[in-house]
Structure 1
Amino acid sequence: MTVNVDPAARERSRVALVTCAELPDLDPDDRLLIEPLRAFGIEATPVAWDATGVDWSSFRLAVLRSPWDYTARRDEFVAWAAGVPSLANPADIVQWNTDKRYLGDLTAAGVPVVPTAWATDDTWTPPAGEAYVVKPSVGAGSVDTGRYRLGDPDEARLAREHAARLIAAGRTVMIQPYLPAVDTYGETALLYLPDESGKLAFSHAIRKGAMLDGPDTGATGLYKEETIKPRVPIDAELAVGEQALAAIPGGPDRLLYARVDVIPDEAGRPLLVELELTEPSLFLATAEAAPARLARAIASHR
């Protein structure tokens, strides 16, 4: 690959690709960045966010990629982020975005969000209706997440038990209706990376198939496996993406990446499920130009 960059950018520099101890060599998708970064004269080094003895000031930039074990230690992770001299995405975004109660801010800003209820104590009872999703407000990779048919007494009991486990562990529970379209149309993830002017712009999209087939089983791990395919998004999905980006505190153009996840409601209108700004999978392998585009953005990031 041949690239044209400013001569100053060709100086050898170090960038940390921030991961976790369970993925010391990065997630495979993130390894696609290493060669394009090398073409910009950048040495990319995987570093676990909680590794001891790391001098984060020795890196020109630390790029959050797969620190997916932080969910059990969010306060520690947020404090760590605040101490990194140069972090992408920024530490204030990490604090805001690692607790899904940010969905309330997006709803207040007029973004069409999946209706969400919250529970912090044992007075919670399952809502009336059909299928619902129960999960923690601080979580990643659909871990500790279950789908429940609340009209079924056994599943309603399991939903209460699931919520009680999370609450007993000091976690806030979020409850959302399960949108049936995820079983047919699937979930759309819209990926945004900086364009050549440095402004965050739509890059590519993927379709995720249904992942939740029943109550939470208590399985552990960093994430649940996903079925991913490239997708061409419709205009209505892109419009929700733009609404979500416009509502980001401090604006979107200081970010290195963003991901907007949407699912249609029963009328076919896209609803935002998550706005992922901290450590989202970017599915670089699904778009040929995406690794080089992100590498260019890292090389020019200030």
Structure 2
Amino acid sequence: MSARPRLLYVTDLAYPARGRRYGDEDIFLTARLREDFDIALCHPLDTTALMDAFDAVVVRNSGPVLHYQAAYDAFRERAAARGTRVYNPLSGRGDMAGKQYLLDLTAAGCPVIPTVDRPRHLARLPETAEYAVKPKAGADSIGLDFVPREELAKYAAGGDMLVQPRVDFRYEVSFYFVDDAFQYALYAPDPGQRWALEPYEPTEADVRFARRFIGWNTLHHGIQRVDACRTRQGELLLVELEDLNPYLSLDLVPEATREAFVTAMKESLHRFLDAPAPPATAPDQPSSSAAASRRA
């Protein structure tokens, strides 16, 4: 490895994200990371062709994978075959591997919005006026719909859609972590405006709630966002565990918090680069992470 590690930073600077400015956030972060690393930016479609010239690939605001699934699968398979360092590592069990984790956590009795994918399991959901249905391969609310109970069976019949009760929540809140270290929290006080975020002061119980899912995911390096909702009864329920390319809303936090995050990310990347590289996987034996990506 060179004296200054070389990072390939994957981002879609022009992606039209509602309520978010991918380009601004990644321009800021790469400017600060350049203090410690030699860094180049690339679009997700160019990653596979360029990554062999770098010490690690950093996946950031690269947009929903379903828009470039074939290229993403090819990237994962090549990274596994060559033992490429990818940050976040491709072994994530959250959104990186699809939405199966919502079913697994529901079955385990964890504090998550109850989720099923089969008609025979609909009785496990609480009675409510409407239900949310969304694709297992969805992202960024793509394919999300709300339907009455009598229409649920047709959505769950194929097993490729998730069904959840539509929760009447007070607000959504997101917890941001670097490795296993909590950094900050933001919340959306208006349930109808997901990205109108404000700083949030979490309680110790709130952070314990979020840390439970960070521990479950077992990623030793990387950036994760735990999205939750606060019900009318006061409990937190997991909405999503973002472990592939979570947007960070760094422009909405105080300067001291932003600087602390940058420092934490730099230190995390140095630790990641000092750790042993993942073993290469033979091309005819796809890694488990590559198999997971086909569910994403």
TM-score (norm 1): 0.72
Match of 1:99 in 2: 98
Q: Work out the CA distance in 2 between the residues paired with 1:226 and 1:160.
A: 32
Separation (CA, whole Å) in 2 of partners of 1:75 and 1:265: 38
Relative to structure 1, the CA distance from residue 101 to residue 74 in structure 2 (aligned partners, 3 Å threshold; closer, same or farther) is farther
SS of structure 2 residue aligned to 1:242: helix
Shift of 1:98: 3.2
Q: Which residue among 57, 60, 77 is the counterpart of 2:55?
A: 60
Q: Is the 8 A contact 1:261 1:275 kept in 2?
A: yes
- The answer to whether structure 1 residue 257 and structure 2 residue 223 are counterparts is yes
Structure 2 distance, partners of 1:266, 1:240, is 17
CA 1:110/1:79 → structure 2, altered by over 3 Å: closer, same or farther?
farther
- Which residue in the other structure is 1:293 paired with? 264
Work out whether 1:193 is the aligned partner of 2:178. Answer: yes
Of the two structures, which has the highest relative contact order with CA contacts closer than 8 Å and spacing of 6 or more?
Answer: 2
1:203 aligns with 2:183: yes
CA contact (8 A) 1:111 1:240 kept: no
Greater percentage in helix: 2
Q: What residue is the counterpart of 2:11 in the other structure?
A: 19
Structure 2 residue runs of 5 or longer lacking an equivalent are 274-296
Task: Report the Cα distance in structure 1 between the residues aligned to 2:93 and 2:68, rounded to whole angstroms.
Answer: 13
Map of 2:241 onto structure 1? 275
Aligned residue among 178, 191, 204 for 2:166: 178
Structure 1 residues 192, 95: closer, same or farther in 2, change over 3 A?
closer
The answer (yes or no) to whether the contact 2:89–2:222 under 8 Å persists in 1 is no
Report the alpha carbon displacement of residue 205 of structure 1 after superposing the two structures with TM.
0.7
Cα shift readout 1:209-229 (whole Å, capped 9, x = no counterpart):
55669xxxxxxxxxxx72121
CA deviations over 1:187-214 (Å, ceiling 9, x no partner): 11100014xxxxx21001111355669x
Correspondence for 2:75 among 76, 80, 99:
80
Find the residue that maps to 1:291 and give its secondary structure.
Answer: helix
Q: Deviation per CA, 1:124-175: give whole Å up to 9, x if none.
A: 9998521322211122222222344x27xxxx76x788x49x96xxx82111
Match of 2:213 in 1: 244
Using a 3 Å threshold, how does the CA distance of structure 1 residues 97 and 80 change in structure 2: closer, same or farther? Answer: same
Contact map agreement 2:221 2:272 (CA 8 A) in 1: no
Contact 1:109 1:247 in 2 (8 A): no
**3-state SS, counterpart of residue 34 of structure 2:** helix
Counterpart secondary structure, 2:110 = coil
1:259 shift after superposition: 1.1
Secondary structure, aligned partner of 1:174: strand
- Compared with structure 1, are the counterparts of its residues 260 and 69 closer, same or farther at alpha carbon in structure 2 (3 Å cutoff)? closer
Q: Which whole-Å CA distance do the structure 2 matches of 1:61 and 1:275 have between them?
A: 23
In structure 1, what residue type is equivalent to 2:59?
L
User: 2:45·2:68 contact (CA, 8 Å) conserved in 1?
Assistant: no
The aligned residue for residue 218 of structure 1 is none
What do the CA deviations read for 1:261-300 (whole angstroms, capped 9, x no partner)?
Answer: 1112342111111111111112223232223321332244
Matching residue's letter, 1:66: N
Amino acid at match of 1:227: A
1:197 alignment partner in structure 2: none
Map 1:146-185 → 2, pairs under 5 A:
146-148=145-147, 150=148, 163=155, 172-181=160-169, 185=170
CA offsets per residue over residues 104-134 of structure 1, 9 Å max, x none?
A: 33334553111012159xxx99985213222
Which amino acid in the other structure matches residue 198 of structure 2?
Answer: K
Q: TM-score, normalised by structure 2?
A: 0.73
